[in-house]
Amino acid sequence: MNFDFHLHSTFSDGSTKMEDIFIKGKELDLKAISITDHDTTLGLNLEHELSKKYNIPYIPAVEFTAIEKGVKLHVLGYYIDKDSKELHEYSMKLLNYLNTKSMQQIKILQSNGIDIPESEYFKQSQGGPLYRAKLLRTLADFGYLEIKDIMVSLKKYFGPEGICHVPDDFKYNDFQSTIELIKRNNGMAVLAHPVKIKKKSEDLYYELINSNLLDGIEIYHPSVTPEVKKELEEVTKKKNLLITGGSDYHGLYNKLGTPLAGMDVPEFVYENLIYR
């Protein structure tokens, strides 16, 4: 059965428009979908309409960024209230912050001889902020970079020593506050791709996967190794947590290159999540 409960559109850091995701989903005969754009609900009403247009059931969701003990991590909020005023204000706050940051980076590029008007960069936003890959896509469109080199060039341009490095000082919520935000808006809190947390801090990883605040853990993700998968399965069984999964599709902006619905996820994930 085809389904995908973790993917991204141009409303955050994906390269594919939301409707194009649904068109491709129809071609793949997707049975359900959840577009989990980062820190924004701005695309959820469109997703609702596209779900009806293409007859593909969807779960409204957001992938929230949190900072815990200095580590950046993500928590998926499924069945989030797409019409929440609180989440709309949060989405706009981050959008405005990231657009201001992007303007700083565009000015740096221009001062380094890359003569592209600001308006050309913002054509890439397509409903969301100008995430780093979108800025580089503009450079590629104007011949300053090969499209195939966008993701491998992120560190060169935006890393600590990159010419466009601007510190990220947005005040993201901590882990508990993020989960409270999700649940306050009718959502289910699922820890996203925990193996990425384990690579940064094993202590934090074990603390979070055993947290009593979670409703579930994302086990089926391209980054999860067999060893970690076994470990997480034991935790979810012991704590009776929901198991989720998906491709983490970003279109062109995907380091792992996993295609839409390209993650092998068992049918029970679909049944437990869609029929919760």
172: pLDDT strictly greater than 80: yes
What is the Cα–Cα distance from 101 to 130, expressed in whole angstroms? 9
159: pLDDT strictly greater than 90: yes
Q: Which two tokens stand for residue 53?
A: 């247009």
Map residue 252 onto helix, strand or coil. Answer: coil
State percent of the chain over pLDDT 90: 97
pLDDT of residue 157: 95
What is the Cα–Cα distance from 268 to 266, expressed in whole angstroms? 5
pTM: 0.96
Helix (H) or strand (E) holding 194: helix 194-200
Report all structural domains of the chain as residue ranges with CATH numbers, in order of start: 3-87+174-274 (3.20.20.140), 90-158 (no CATH)
The predicted model gives 162-168 an average pLDDT of 93
pLDDT band at 246 (very low <50, low <70, confident <90, very high): very high
Question: 199 vs 30, 152, 192, 193, 206, CA distance in Å?
Answer: 32, 20, 14, 11, 12
What are 195-226's pLDDT values in tens digits? 999 999 999 999 999 999 999 999 999 999 99
pLDDT of residue 276: 76
Length of the chain counted residue by residue: 276
pLDDT of residue 255: 81
What are 22-77's pLDDT values in tens digits? 999 999 999 999 999 999 999 999 999 999 999 999 999 999 999 999 999 999 99
